[in-house]
Chains A and B, each alone.
Chain A
Amino acid sequence: AQKITQTQPGMFVQEKEAVTLDCTYDTSDPSYGLFWYKQPSSGEMIFLIYQGSYDQQNATEGRYSLNFQKARKSANLVISASQLGDSAMYFCAMREGLLLNQGAQKLVFGQGTRLTINP
């Protein structure tokens, strides 16, 4: 069964510093996708970034990048030049199966990391 682990319940970072949020996963399927979502205090879930298991390069989306180490089964989120608005809960999630697989593509989530950016 697939599993996602986020070992940092909370993190505190100074504004403008880079921050790395850890995520490790476990799956026996060679085809999978990894997602990061942000949940600010207002409660909505915001999709940030995606990494496919066969992607050759680490995903990047603006200030977000994903440090994908397949052999270690880790998919850490890196936020560069943190801002006060980055304070939120962050969730790592995994989907088994290829992108084009039209099955359920259920997501399994980690427990989340609460990030606080200090001014």
Chain B
Amino acid sequence: DAGITQSPRHKVTETGTPVTLRCHQTENHRYMYWYRQDPGHGLRLIHYSYGVKDTDKGEVSDGYSVSRSKTEDFLLTLESATSSQTSVYFCAIRDSGGSYNEQFFGPGTRLTVL
């Protein structure tokens, strides 16, 4: 258990509304990531963070923004949700102290945009 929680776990929203997903970790990891999972695509990286206020884009960043004002929290915001953003969103941390620098994932957030 890498101490990662995501909130909300499920959300249904309407097209055009803003949505913020929260990832919270308790073990002071420096690197945090947001992925989305869609059938046929596996997981794809949206944004990642390498420290407080330090973020960068991933493979599928269009339509998403992130913020990290505290080490423990990494927020993903959909400024104006679209149906194509219906997905399962996973937050991950990288365990730099682990044997393989592996990433550990939160439980996921299922987002439906109607």
Contacts of A44 in B (CB 8 A): 105, 107-108
Contacts of A111 in B (CB 8 A): 40-42
The binding surface of chain B is classed by DSSP as strand
A71 contacts partner chain B, Cβ-Cβ < 8 Å = no
Within 8 Å by CB of A105, from B41, B88, B94, B105, lies: B94
B48 contacts partner chain A, Cβ-Cβ < 8 Å = yes
Within 8 Å by CB of A43, from B44, B48, B107, lies: B107
Contacts of B103 in A (CB 8 A): 35, 47, 107
By size class, the interface of chain B is 20 to 34
Contacts of A112 in B (CB 8 A): 42
Given A43-B108, A99-B100, A104 and B56 contact (CB-CB distance below 8 Å):
yes
B90 contacts partner chain A, Cβ-Cβ < 8 Å = yes
B45 contacts partner chain A, Cβ-Cβ < 8 Å = yes
Contacts of B105 in A (CB 8 A): 37, 44-45
A72 contacts partner chain B, Cβ-Cβ < 8 Å = no
A25-51 CB mask vs B (1 if < 8 Å, else 0) is 000000001010100000111010010
Residue of B nearest to A33 (CB): B100
Within 8 Å by CB of B44, from A33, A47, A109, lies: A109
The docked-state distance in angstroms from the alpha carbon of A105 to that of B40 is 23
A80-99 CB mask vs B (1 if < 8 Å, else 0) is 00000000000101010001
Q: Is the CB of B101 within 8 A of A105?
A: yes
B64 contacts partner chain A, Cβ-Cβ < 8 Å = no
Contacts of A102 in B (CB 8 A): 96
Residue of B nearest to A103 (CB): B50
Chain A residues within CB distance 8 Å of chain B = 4, 6, 33, 35, 37, 43-45, 47, 50, 52, 91, 93, 95, 99, 102, 104-112
Chain B residues within CB distance 8 Å of chain A = 31, 33, 35, 40-45, 48, 50, 56, 58-59, 88, 90, 92, 94, 96, 99-105, 107-108
22 A–B contact pairs at CB < 8 A?
Answer: A4-B42, A6-B42, A33-B101, A35-B102, A35-B103, A37-B105, A43-B108, A44-B107, A44-B108, A47-B104, A50-B99, A91-B42, A102-B96, A105-B31, A106-B48, A106-B58, A107-B45, A108-B59, A109-B35, A110-B42, A111-B42, A112-B42
